[in-house]
Structure 1
Amino acid sequence: MRILFTTWAWPSHLYAMVPLAWACRSAGHEVLVASQPELTGAIQATGLTAAPVGHHVDAVGVFRDIVRPPDGGGRGGGGPRVLGLLTALADSMTDDLARLAKGWRADAVVFEPTCFAGPLAAAVAGVPAIRHLYGTDLLGAAGRFLPDALAPLCERLGLDGVDPFGIATVDPCPAGLQLPTGSPRLPMRYVPYNGPGRHPRPLPPAASPGRPRVCVTWGTTMSRLDPELFLAGDAVRAVADLDVDVVAAVTPGQRATLGAVPSGVHIAQSAPLHLLLPRCDAVVAHGGAGSLLTALAAGLPQVLVPRLPDHVRHAARIAETGAGAVLPAPVEDPAAIRDRLAEVLAEPAYRDAAGRLRGEMLAQPSPAAVVPEIERVVARSASGPVQPVSIRR
């Protein structure tokens, strides 16, 4: 079977699909990953085969303007602007992706939920489209707006319409965190993949027995948008006032942006986050889906300071489940981060809630167990109209 995975050029969206892509490859299927040319290097670094499609769209500029409007006004209209960006990205990719799907004779297209080129190209090629979430189902609530948004593209492609949710949704979120999904859910255990890196050197022993260790990480997105939005340095300096050991997880390029840090803070550069967190007791972060789910995979409560619309919604779900606390951005006084962390560390209910979500994650089928379900979806589509399916437990 030939399975075409696709995302637009946003590394964290790619990373969410890597475990399933490798599970498909390990099961003997051919796998190809298609995205805009600027993501080619990141795809190749996963060990998978890259296929460049489409052309560049300035997504960074759009997100930067949402967070910091150029006119200096207040934030607003993020939803419509994001939807406009996603349709522009689909327009840039769909023609090439459809040609690739047909020319490569793909049997199925697996797409992340914001890559509408995936279901459009699958419809043109006449193969099933399977959605792969990277976090909570943020577009489920936008379902009523999607037909109108995608109508011009469907008309250009000669399609009567397209289901933007695919015939099934591969879902790595624990059920207790997830929002209602737009198509039948194929639960899958979250397997952290945080990009290429190197094994971290051992963390120093705790300064005193029982002293908590806190990891501060701000992902890779915020520093791309604006170094002033990279709050890891402020967070490190604030929480270091507590009786905790602090480890800051950064990329080499973020080290200078981190600024001066108190003595005793351990800086881990290029270390995959999932290798650091099992030795920690809590996480302070920005609310990105990859960092958030990796923290839950370790059963850790979180203090989150979200800024982008998807980070805000992911963080809200963490607060609603009781697995963490959220501070609205911008944070005028970093001491507020310290105070919320002290609360999260002192109250066992936060860690208990995170542990429950971790248990739900571990109970879900592994990526290898999901591959046969995808095979069944494709087999059903070959014998007649594609019907939505649910995973067999």
Structure 2
Amino acid sequence: MRVIFATWAWPSHLYAMVPLAWACRAAGHEVLVASEPQLTGTILRTGLPAAPVGRDVDAVAVFRDIVHPPEGRPGKGGGGPRVLGLLAELAESMTDDLVKLAEGWRADLIVSEPTAFAGPLAAAAVGVPAVRHLYGVDLLSAAGRFLPDVLAPMCEKLGLDGVEPFGAATVDPCPAGLQVPTGSRRLPMRYVPFNGAGALPPPTPRPAARRPRVCVTWGTTYSRLYSRMFLAGDIVRAIADLPVDVIVAVAPGQRDLLGALPPEAHVVEGAPLHLLLPRCDAVIAQGGAGTILTALDNGLPQVLVPRLPDHVRHAARIAETNAGVVVPAPGVEAAAIRDGLTAVLDDPAHRDAARSLRDEMRDQPPPARVVAELAHIGVGATADR
């Protein structure tokens, strides 16, 4: 079976699909990862073969304008419609080349992350199945009624009467207890953390008196959009007087955004989060899907301080499951952060809820078993052509 994994150029969306793509290769299937040219280097660093398609679209500029319009000019408003417009532009930029790739390479199946609509469009155009691969809570399932209008111009261009944006099935690494109803048949899959390539950092020293170890991390999105929303340093300073050991996990280039930190805080730069969290007892973060799922995979309760709409919705599900607490923005104050961390460390109900979700995740089928489901979908449909 030949499988194309498709995403636009947002690394965390790619990372979510890497374990399944490698499982396909390990099972003897052929794999290509298709994305905008600017993601090529990131794809190659996962060890997977890359197929650049379409043209680069500056999604960062659009998101930056939504969260922080230039001074003196109000934002263009309508964050939801603007995001859907961006996703339509990304699909338009990639679809023609993805169709040519799928035809020329004789793909049997196209797997795409849920915001990469070029995947289901190209699959429909060449007559192969499309499968979605979630990277977190299915935030687009609620937008299903808007998607036919969003995709209609591209369907017309391709000569399609329409397209099923949710595909024939949805690969879902979330535990069912965290997930909302998915847009198509759910294929549960054990979450295998992949937060990028990197080396295991040396162990950090611990005082003789065992204290809880807290990881503070702020993902990569905020530093790209608006540095004042990068709150990791503020968080560390807010909890400096608590009896905890602090690890600050930052991506390359983020250290300067932290500001002056207490001398006890230990900064780790460039280490994938899944290599750090097994040493920790709790996480304070921004609410990104990859961070949330990696923390849950380690059974860690979380304090989440979301600012972006998708982070707000992911964080809300964590609070609803009692696996953590949310400190709402704006107006984040040090006392609220300290209270949130004290709550998740002192109340065993938060830890128990996080571990329950961890156990549920680990009971889901591993990627190798999901590959067999994909083969049934892909090869079976190809045989019928």
* TM-score, normalization by structure 2: 0.97
Distance 2:100 2:274 in 1: 37
C-alpha distance after superposition, 1:197-249 (max 9, x if no partner): 1111102114522x111000001111111111111111111112211000000
Distance 2:194 2:336 in 1: 31
Q: CA deviation at 1:383?
A: 4.2
Q: CA deviation at 1:106?
A: 0.6
Distance 1:74 1:38 in 2: 27
C-alpha distance after superposition, 1:333-385 (max 9, x if no partner): 23321221112111111111101100100000001111111111113313448
Residue pair 1:110, 1:131 contacting (<8 A) in 2 also: yes
Distance 2:17 2:208 in 1: 38
Distance 2:252 2:172 in 1: 32
Letter in 1 for 2:138: D
Q: Which residue of 1 aligns with 2:61?
A: 61
Letter in 2 for 1:103: G
Mapping of 1:124-135 within 5 angstroms?
A: 124-135=125-136
Distance 1:207 1:85 in 2: 52
C-alpha distance after superposition, 1:47-98 (max 9, x if no partner): 0001111111111111112211335658952211111110010011100111
Letter in 2 for 1:172: P
Letter in 1 for 2:30: E
Distance 1:66 1:315 in 2: 20
Q: Which residue of 1 aligns with 2:353?
A: 353
* Change in CA separation of 1:38 and 1:258 when aligned onto 2, cut-off 3 Å: same
User: Higher mean Cα deviation, 375-384 or 177-186?
Assistant: 375-384
* Change in CA separation of 1:51 and 1:242 when aligned onto 2, cut-off 3 Å: same
Distance 1:180 1:120 in 2: 23
Q: Which residue of 1 aligns with 2:143?
A: 142
Q: Which residue of 1 aligns with 2:158?
A: 157
Q: Could you say what secondary structure the match of 1:109 adopts?
A: strand
- Alignment partner of 1:200 is 2:209: no
Distance 1:244 1:153 in 2: 53
- Alignment partner of 1:82 is 2:51: no
Over the aligned positions, Cα root-mean-square deviation in angstroms equals 1.4
Letter in 2 for 1:313: R
Q: Could you say what secondary structure the match of 2:300 adopts?
A: coil
* TM-score, normalization by structure 1: 0.95
Distance 2:361 2:77 in 1: 34
* Change in CA separation of 1:218 and 1:290 when aligned onto 2, cut-off 3 Å: same
- Alignment partner of 1:227 is 2:243: no
- Number of residue pairs the alignment of both structures matches: 384
Q: Which residue of 1 aligns with 2:264?
A: 264
Q: Could you say what secondary structure the match of 1:23 adopts?
A: helix
Q: Which residue of 2 aligns with 1:91?
A: 92
* Change in CA separation of 1:302 and 1:332 when aligned onto 2, cut-off 3 Å: closer
Q: CA deviation at 1:330?
A: 2.6
